[in-house]
A = this chain, B = another copy of it.
Amino acid sequence: MSTIKDVAKLAGVSVATVSRVVNRSPRTSEKAIKAVTEAMEALSYRPNANARALVSQTTQTMGVLVGDVSNPFFGAMLKSIDLVCRDQGKHLLIGNGYHEADSEREAIEILINSRCESLVIHSKGLSDEDLTKFCKEVPGLVVINRQLDEVPERCISLDNYKGSYLATEYLLNQGHRDIAYICSEHDIEDADSRKQGYRDALAAHGVSPQEHTIAYGYPDEQGGEKAMRDLLSRGVSVTAVAAYNDYMAAGAMACLEESDIAVPEQVSVIGFDDGLISRYMKPRLTTIRYPIQPMAEQAARLALQLAQGSSPESSPHVFVPTLVKRNSVKPLTQ
């Protein structure tokens, strides 16, 4: 692969001139531009981004850590981020953490070593302490989907508690009283908050939450199916189910269908996230909208501002979820 020196030699000029032509410096003659352009073409010269980054001390790159690119939730997040980056002439280095502490740490370190000046981090595995340390180390780092008490101005998060409260309250307002909750078995903050939102909404409406109406599973379709089966086999009688996320809701619905229990006629189901699949399920899933796109956009902007040292415009850091009414919940009639 040819270098700037090769181009300079072929064009009969110095490397400085080549550099100036490449970077469209105004101090260059037509003649030089022509000679250099032709030489670059002939050698198919590609300026080495690493060398450039080294000397100019900037990479124009945003690093992003996601859980798993194959999950459409992260796909939507990445797209929002990419849109603001492309608008600002930045590009993206992406790491997968697979929700596992060591992978996440390693991925973040790669992003830092690559000198991404801005970072958007979605971590479920690392501790608050670790994340806070990273925040303090790199100024352009923003955490999405987590709330760190020490550095709230670096976090973009969702009020999970409220979302779950909303979901449960909606079921209550539809007349339901026997409401089960399908929870993620992961020991992370958002799972806790969502469960607590469910409990508190119940309590606020005079229904005392009971432990045996809560079932656990891995936060995917299989996990939802398993949790629903658990619930059914415990013999708890239930007219509605709230789930940790849409996938678990889909699993629960599959399980109910297998057991010849009609949704929503016999049992109502409500999800969480409003992900891609919620629109394609039948009945279409009533759920809680997780506004990941505006959140990701905001996180990206914030990271960019922090990275360039400009004081970030004040804007919401905690987003509020909203109810999306579709067809999987029915009022309780009797």
Enumerate chain A interface residues (CB-CB to B < 8 A): 44, 46-51, 53-54, 59, 68-72, 74-76, 78-79, 82, 86, 91-96, 107, 109-110, 112-115, 137, 250, 276-277, 280-282
Contacts and interface: CB of A to CB of B under 8 A. Distances in A.
Contact of A282 (B74, B95, B282): B282
A250 B91 contact: no
A68 B72 contact: no
A90 to B, nearest CB: 10
Given A94-B94, A282-B282, A72 B276 contact: yes
Contact of A75 (B47, B71, B112, B250): B71
Given A70-B78, A75-B75, A281-B282, A51 B54 contact: yes
A50 B46 contact: no
Contacts of A282: 281-282
Which 5 pairs show the lowest CB-CB distances between chains A and B?
Answer: A282-B282, A70-B79, A70-B75, A50-B53, A50-B50
Contacts of A71: 75
Contact of A114 (B50, B75, B137): B50
B46 A109 contact: yes
A113 B70 contact: no
B115 A48 contact: yes
A245 B76 CA distance: 20
A249 to B, nearest CB: 11
Given A69-B69, A92-B93, 9 more contacts: A48-B115, A49-B110, A49-B113, A50-B59, A54-B54, A70-B76, A82-B96, A92-B95, A93-B93
A94 B82 CA distance: 10
A243 to B, nearest CB: 15
Contact of A276 (B74, B78, B110, B277): B277
B47 A113 contact: yes
